[in-house]
Structure 1
């Protein structure tokens, strides 16, 4: 196998040979992270609801708290964009039964930036406060998706929301002029707060009407001196741009963490290897990322499931990877997956050994 090499930011200044790309397609390199995963199973199966975006954290009570997206099953899978709320659940152990506690962020209605949906929760403890980064939108569509923040002194709230988004899209024509979404925050060793985010270009999105995947999702970085901002976009964005690989390859759902003097990332593959696997990348500086290897496979690799209901078109795929950290190291992987006893969607958990 070819040794890992630096994946130059955006691939803009690197020419990756056809031979190298063919090698990766043929051999599909598997990360060491993938080899440490052991399936636990589904959690948060809720009758009448789709459950998604499961972000875990260990509380001062020793219990595991999860902040997750959910929306009414009557809306179908597409309800995430125009009716999602963010809820809180708790369990005594990562492999225990999670019990719904409350809804902490619901769409606020006309006049607010998060009027129609609250989604993509990403929970962090920074100092003695809790920061819940999330995506909201104002019109039930993708073009008003914005990253915002809610802050509390306790995992049980009360949560104070930002009056405005903390990260706006770029100007018209920019790579990120469509939206800001999928937040993942890292407290940099230098004291800064690095917010990784996903976006894409509106013109490309409109060009692709009628296609299965519209636009090309890329990742950028915004940096602040405080966890609530203000955030300033890194001049070298986008950091990750798979469009240079051809065939509209892209990624989404990135989770970034810092461990053993390296930045590390999990994401959902959108065509590098397969639509049904996850990606692993790392970077010494958090800017120049390695070429991806496989982080996790689809459900059939780990478990047996009944046939999917006809309305589930992403059945067997694990999305929105989020880590439960323990003593600074990944202990459990929380994902979202269609299916379960109600044939909607739920959390799916892996133990990391």
Structure 2
């Protein structure tokens, strides 16, 4: 190391001993090529939507015509533990005067319908959009309380306060036997393309596959694209699917929880990292056509990079990471990142919000 570099490094080390953690993270991140420009714009706001008797997940925000911020979120009974999302989640509506909150529960808009329905046992993964004068609430349901019947659906309403028209059939079914997506359709992410088409991104996974030593899974998660000429479908799957597939990168790297949007003539994606940079981080990618995506960068980091939290309770094994990224748009620009994270004052799970500078 040259003397000039040594002096500079020593200066930084001594400086960071006297500055807050947030500033330290800023100094480090400025020189980290793995961090996306998106990540560098994030400022942590903190938790919201904490309810004593519920786990809260999948927080999807939208600004209403009343100027208020509406969030559609998943919740399930605290008594079910973290795994209750799979066999007892409902989708609820909350409202606040400001993106930071506080939020007031309004009502439950979609609940499991019981035996005989495709969404009999859970309603989860809400993603709210205003499309063609209607509110479109994409979500997933299952019919047996298990993983293998997860399907994407679409509910619509003229008002954020409902009533919601509920689908009798899923919006997107799995592929034929032997196709890459022949197991499930889940994690919907929607946008209306500038050309007027309706684009739906969805996750599926291999039924069988190598099990990564750091997290038990039953296959590699990938993302497909389905396109329609109308909001209600039918959605035709892109013939070159999957459009996001990390399995060739080795070590069973993958992602989930994708959120896709179009901004400044580019398609952009946030997703939960599952082995690229670390399973507690988020990913950022962009694309010129929405079909061929850039190499991933870090979209957001583990919460310890932004805040200090208490020691993890023993019953929360996903503590410290932010999942299910969803964006709030105001005047056509993303202004806040809403995520879901275990923890909070009730030791369950809640929203965790970032401001986008």
- Tell me if TM exceeds 0.5: yes
Unaligned runs of 5+ in 2: 1-31
Say which of 314, 326, 344 aligns to 2:318.
314
Highest Rg: 1 or 2?
2
Q: Contact 1:43–1:347 (CA<8 Å) still a contact in 2? A: yes
Which residue does 1:342 correspond to in 2? 346
Residues 251 and 348 of structure 1: CA distance in aligned 2, closer, same or farther (over 3 Å)? same
Which residue does 1:108 correspond to in 2? 113
Query: Alignment partner of 2:73: what SS?
Result: strand
Unaligned runs of 5+ in 1: 1-26
Q: Contact 2:271–2:324 (CA<8 Å) still a contact in 1? A: yes
Q: Distance in 2 between matches of 1:204 and 1:171?
A: 18
Q: How many residues align?
A: 326
Structure 1 residue 128 displacement after superposition? 1.4
Which residue does 2:250 correspond to in 1? 246
1:34 pairs with 2:36: no
Q: Contact 1:208–1:215 (CA<8 Å) still a contact in 2? A: no
Q: Distance in 2 between matches of 1:186 and 1:341?
A: 35
TM-score (norm. length: structure 2): 0.89
Task: Spell out the pairing of 1:1-353 with structure 2 (5 A cutoff).
Answer: 29-204=34-209, 212-353=216-357
Structure 1 residue 75 displacement after superposition? 0.6
Q: Contact 2:206–2:218 (CA<8 Å) still a contact in 1? A: no
Runs of at least 4 residues of structure 1 off by over 3 A?
207-211
Q: Distance in 1 between matches of 2:175 and 2:101?
A: 43
Q: Distance in 2 between matches of 1:282 and 1:211?
A: 27
1:287-344, Cα deviation, whole Å (9 max, x unpaired)? 0100000010011000011111100001010000000011221100000000000000
Q: Distance in 2 between matches of 1:44 and 1:89?
A: 8
Which residue does 1:11 correspond to in 2? none
Q: Distance in 1 between matches of 2:214 and 2:127?
A: 31
Structure 1 residue 208 displacement after superposition? 8.3
Q: Distance in 2 between matches of 1:315 and 1:208?
A: 19
Which residue does 2:15 correspond to in 1? none
User: RCO higher in 1 or 2 (8 Å CA, sep ≥ 6)?
Assistant: 1
Which residue does 1:18 correspond to in 2? none
Q: Contact 1:174–1:201 (CA<8 Å) still a contact in 2? A: no
Residues 263 and 211 of structure 1: CA distance in aligned 2, closer, same or farther (over 3 Å)? closer
Structure 1 residue 228 displacement after superposition? 1.3
Q: Contact 1:264–1:282 (CA<8 Å) still a contact in 2? A: yes
TM-score (norm. length: structure 1): 0.90
The two structures, once aligned, show a CA RMSD in angstroms of 1.4
Q: Distance in 1 between matches of 2:212 and 2:309?
A: 33
